[in-house]
Structure 1
Amino acid sequence: MPTDRLLTTVLRAYQGAPDPEQINRIFSSTASLFTTLSNPLNITLLTSQLLISPAIWNQVDGLRTSLRLISVYNTAAITVHKNQIEGGNKSNKPFDAYQPRLGGGIACDEWATAVVKGLDDRSPRWEHALVLAGILLGMEGQERRGLSSGLRVKLETALVTAANLTLQNQAGTGILGVESMILALNHAFPLLSDHVRRLLDYDALALPLIKAMTYMEGYQDAIFLEAVDYEVRQVSGNKFDWSAKSPSFLQLQNLASKPLVTSMGPLSRLIAHTIENLSIPGRALETLEHLLAFSGKLLTAWQRNKLSEIDPSEEATFLTPETLRVTFPLLWQVLKTAMFATVLILRSIIAKTLITPYLSSNELAPGIASKALTALRNIHFISSRMGSNAFSAYTFVNLTCIDILSRFPIQSGDFLRSILPSHAGSIPAHPLHRSHDLFYL
């Protein structure tokens, strides 16, 4: 289909009713147009209309839609950059009027500028952040140098500005907008210069980040563990079966593929970086409280789960082959990512405590240490499966908190009594209770 005709078709499709199958075609055609349009004005028009398209934004598939928007601009930017390089390589060859033009023939800076001009007041700032992240990833990711240094700085600054403006109006933006901004920031953050990073409002960013990690686009406050318990069945031979066709496993697969969960490593590092750069120390305390509550929900949900009754050494005996091979491994993969993220964030909180007079005061330090250790205890049923000492961040949090508490005998005693085994002197029958006993020791 000729480019002009395709442009008209896509612009008309933007105004249609939401349709999952149609949306796939819209995104595909849009990505193609961005690499073949030769008039910058049409690129600007396409961007501005895409960001207000009822066909896309009136029925959003969570952050997956936001990720697809990043992907459209990332893919297009990579292609535009590639075309510019290949076109430059052909510049020394004799002119050939019959040689087809590569893409739209627009240079990287001109293309990026045309896209940015489409980020107008009709679309929200969080959508602007998604577009800017896509451009930066496509032009500058993986050591590509598609943009001039001046334009790159402008785009980086624009992304941070869009993030800050989104944070200033969280109530008006809504959860999707805030989490979409976080998604954009998470993907593009490694590309931002130190100077631009310092422009971020870390104090406003901290809580939205930790909520994004633990709420519905993240680990869903451990609700998935409760759903698993409902569908674990005891079958013949005293074995437990959790079918790969069960709704709870499909829910777990959906959770594991969520954009923020699949990039939990970078997200946890972004949260840690945010805590390290807080100017209001109290935000670190709020983050710790939220993380403690999340770890407690993980523990409570696991304690209620039938699978918690099985000792790791006996899983091959008491789990059906399908459960052992398919469903159980994915569950632990998700739990381990949650554990790693939690410990990494705890590490940044404890490190912040050590260097901040307010947090390291006699009034706050023992409480911070106790809460961090309690969070470690809550997730010990996960960390113990891989050996806690093998994880340096875990060791740092554990030993540093113990060192802090050792200076406060009263608070130390209170903490030890709070985790004292209920059946001291005997080995508990339940694996989870044995895990708690080992943590106490």
Structure 2
Amino acid sequence: MLIEESLTALLRALQSASDVQDISSLLSSAARILALLANPSNITLLTSQLLATPAIWGPSTNLPTIVAVIGIFRSACYHLLRPYDTSYPPKPPGTSTTLALEEWTAAVMKGTDRASPRSKQALVLSGLLQGLQSRHYSGLSNRVQHEFVISVNLSVCIDSSRSVVTDQALVIAVSQVFDLLGVSARDALDHNLLLPMLTEAVFFSGSGIHQGYFLGTIDADVLETVGKKFDWSAKSHSYLQLQATASGPLVADLGRISRLAAFSTEHATDLITLSRLLQDLFDISRSLCVQWRQNKLSEVDASEQDLFLSDNTIRKTLPLLWRVLRSSMFSIVIILTAWTGRLLSDNLIPKEIVPPSAMQILKTLRNFYFISSHLGTDTLSQHSFVYLTAVDIISQYPKFAEALVNQLRPAQIGLIPQHPLDRCLDTYFLNTAEHFATVLNTKIADGLLLSAAMPYLGTNDERKSLEAFEAAHSVMIAVMAAPHNNDLTVSRIETYAGRLFEVFPRSLSPRQFRLAVTQLVRIASPPSVVSAQRPLLPSILLEIIRFRVETASSQPLTSLSKNGEDDAHPLSEQAALVLALIHSLPCLQLEALEDWLPAIPRLCYRVQDPVLRHVCYSGFWDVLSDGEMDLDRAVLCANWWNTGGGREMVLSGGEKVISGSMIKNIPEDEASSP
């Protein structure tokens, strides 16, 4: 009798409740009462009333309130399953229901049939499925799954009563149970209609990312403080709004929704829907990039935050912003992963739209580069897969590659822009253009790629531009290494070599310097056409390195993190020069290699830091023994090591025998040959 009285009071309160707190309290009561009702008619009545009451479904109802409906039936199901779970204590006397779970579920589903829209039915069934995930009720769960799929498909197809908020709640309902659905149930969903609803709810609606418009509202709240620093207060309206967005159901559940959208992308059959999806993702990325540029925070380079941002902004408000931006980018990358997979293997995708689609993907990733570069592009394997796959596709179509680099080209070629975002986009252009150096004609390579790279080859020592500097050097090497650019290489290689030694180590990491030197020696060595016109260039480069080792600094280059060696012991300029020479040995002609082998042990011994000296010796041993040499060079090195005094030179270093074990603790019986 007490339960029936509570039910009557609840139904009466649902008709008059208007305050959000009152509604939240009533929903909690509904979950408790629903699990205790023993009369199927009362269960059906309460279910139908919950799906019809204006307190929940009125015009001013928000998304969390509607999503709470899912929680009502999920919680009630969990409560009913307690007697079957030995980890819970038994229910108090007088509170157990005599209604079996199957009967209770049937009564709930009957309540959804009473003229309630299909979208509301899907919310109830989603809650039931989450509650019925126990293996003991697989048969019952399968029946609910079947009804759930029907409700979702009819909802996205013919349910005219849906509102924007209902669509968003439906997206959450599907995403929450997607992992619980069987393979047949997942495939039975109408992905052609579900996919646009997912992207609209998450990326365009006010309850989701809203195309990044929250970035525009932040600018007015970023104020200059006494110390000439920008401060974005945690009490500002824009930050509180961002907190609400981040904790909202759509953004908080972005991971599961993205996986659902990726699955729908894989299974959608309508090409118009898929093409529209790709355009929508590009529009979102472009909007985020534009909104970020209009924000004062974008004017501060990551390396200068301590100088221009307040401690409160660095520690509290800015991390939340980056978390939301990162989640937005990751979610879109997950969807693009599915799209990219279809470009590779799906016969449904016409071949003529494959290269334009790959171009659109790369332009989308460009707009996200201010986020991915902040986090590191290798933090997500899907990002690398999407990027490199799109690059590989475009590389097969030279005309599309030319069109792409022209669309990505810097706004002002020949200058290093002042705005950090422009430098960021220039870096993306350089990194991407490097991959197309072998397919672009010489005119484009010289007039666009090299022209865009030249400003970043200067002697500027600003660490904030280090990534762009290294990308520019990579572009130069890639262009000069292309066989069809021999004439261009001959005219540029000496100038570039001189510039390379000017900028190291101020604007170039040891790893990038080593790669550049190695490639220059390779390009200028036979059988290259360049070697016929510049035959002495490899020897000149190595002689310059040997000369600089004598006067190079032995202090660790701690400000240049990309040393490619032992992170605990950053390379010094001296060690980096020696390693660059060592790694160039496999590119030398036999006569030159025979001349340079005896010089290496002496140069290694001149490295003052014992740890870095060991790194140099280890690098030398790796080059000799790890298969980098071809057969003729390997035979030459083996003879030098065994009978030419090489082993003794390495052990003595030009003076006394070095105490301790050999390179990499090589045993004596293994030190007889490289």
Mark yes or no: TM-score above 0.5. Answer: yes
Q: 1:163 to 1:60 in 2, by over 3 A?
A: farther
Question: In the alignment, what sits opposite 2:343?
Answer: 353
Instruction: Trace 1:87-236 onto structure 2 (pairs within 5 A).
Output: 100-140=93-133, 144-145=134-135, 147=137, 149-169=138-158, 171-215=160-204, 216-236=206-226
Question: In the alignment, what sits opposite 1:94?
Answer: none
Deviations 1:46-79 (A, max 9, x none): 1011110122211554321122111111111111
Corresponding residue to 1:334 among 324, 329, 334 = 324
> For the pair shown, which has the larger CA radius of gyration, 1 or 2?
2
Instruction: Trace 1:18-37 onto structure 2 (pairs within 5 A).
Output: 18-37=18-37
| AA of the residue aligned to 1:4 | E
Shift of 1:408: 1.4
Instruction: Trace 1:320-331 onto structure 2 (pairs within 5 A).
Output: 320-331=310-321
Query: What is the alpha-carbon distance in structure 1 between the residues aligned to residue 50 and residue 198 of structure 2?
Result: 27
Query: What is the alpha-carbon distance in structure 2 between the residues aligned to residue 440 and residue 360 of structure 1?
Result: 28
Contact 2:117 2:161 in 1 (8 A): no
Contact 1:18 1:58 in 2 (8 A): no
Query: What is the alpha-carbon distance in structure 2 between the residues aligned to residue 338 and residue 271 of structure 1?
Result: 13
Question: In the alignment, what sits opposite 1:82?
Answer: 82
| AA of the residue aligned to 1:55 | A
| AA of the residue aligned to 1:100 | P
Deviations 1:406-441 (A, max 9, x none): 121112111101111233344322111111111112
Deviations 1:161-217 (A, max 9, x none): 111011112654222222221111010111100011121111111111111111222
| AA of the residue aligned to 2:53 | S
Corresponding residue to 1:412 among 401, 406, 419 = 401
Question: In the alignment, what sits opposite 1:315?
Answer: 305
Contact 2:118 2:159 in 1 (8 A): no
Question: In the alignment, what sits opposite 1:57?
Answer: 57
Contact 1:186 1:266 in 2 (8 A): yes
Query: What is the alpha-carbon distance in structure 1 between the residues aligned to residue 96 and residue 129 of structure 2?
Result: 19
Q: 1:191 to 1:87 in 2, by over 3 A?
A: closer
Query: What is the alpha-carbon distance in structure 1 between the residues aligned to residue 380 and residue 11 of structure 2?
Result: 52
Question: In the alignment, what sits opposite 2:276?
Answer: 286
Match of 1:424, SS state, is coil
Shift of 1:357: 3.4
| AA of the residue aligned to 1:179 | Q
Higher relative contact order (CA 8 A, sep 6+): 1
Question: In the alignment, what sits opposite 1:440?
Answer: 429
Contact 2:56 2:66 in 1 (8 A): no
Shift of 1:303: 0.7
Gaps of 5+ in 2: 431-674
Match of 2:409, SS state, is coil
Question: In the alignment, what sits opposite 1:93?
Answer: none
Contact 1:428 1:434 in 2 (8 A): yes
Query: What is the alpha-carbon distance in structure 2 between the residues aligned to residue 99 and residue 180 of structure 1?
Result: 35
Deviations 1:274-329 (A, max 9, x none): 01011223322110000000000000000111000111111122111211121111
| AA of the residue aligned to 2:302 | P
Corresponding residue to 2:411 among 392, 406, 422 = 422
Compare 331-340 and 426-435 and name the one that shifted more: 426-435
Corresponding residue to 1:377 among 352, 360, 366 = 366
| AA of the residue aligned to 1:134 | G
Match of 1:364, SS state, is helix
CA RMSD, aligned part only?
2.0
Compare 270-279 and 103-112 and name the one that shifted more: 103-112
Contact 1:354 1:360 in 2 (8 A): no
Contact 1:84 1:105 in 2 (8 A): no
Query: What is the alpha-carbon distance in structure 1 between the residues aligned to residue 364 and residue 353 of structure 2?
Result: 17
Q: Percent identity?
A: 38
Contact 2:55 2:61 in 1 (8 A): no
Size of the aligned set, in residue pairs, is: 429
Match of 2:374, SS state, is coil
Shift of 1:86: 5.6
The answer as to 2:291 corresponding to 1:301 is: yes
Q: 1:110 to 1:84 in 2, by over 3 A?
A: farther
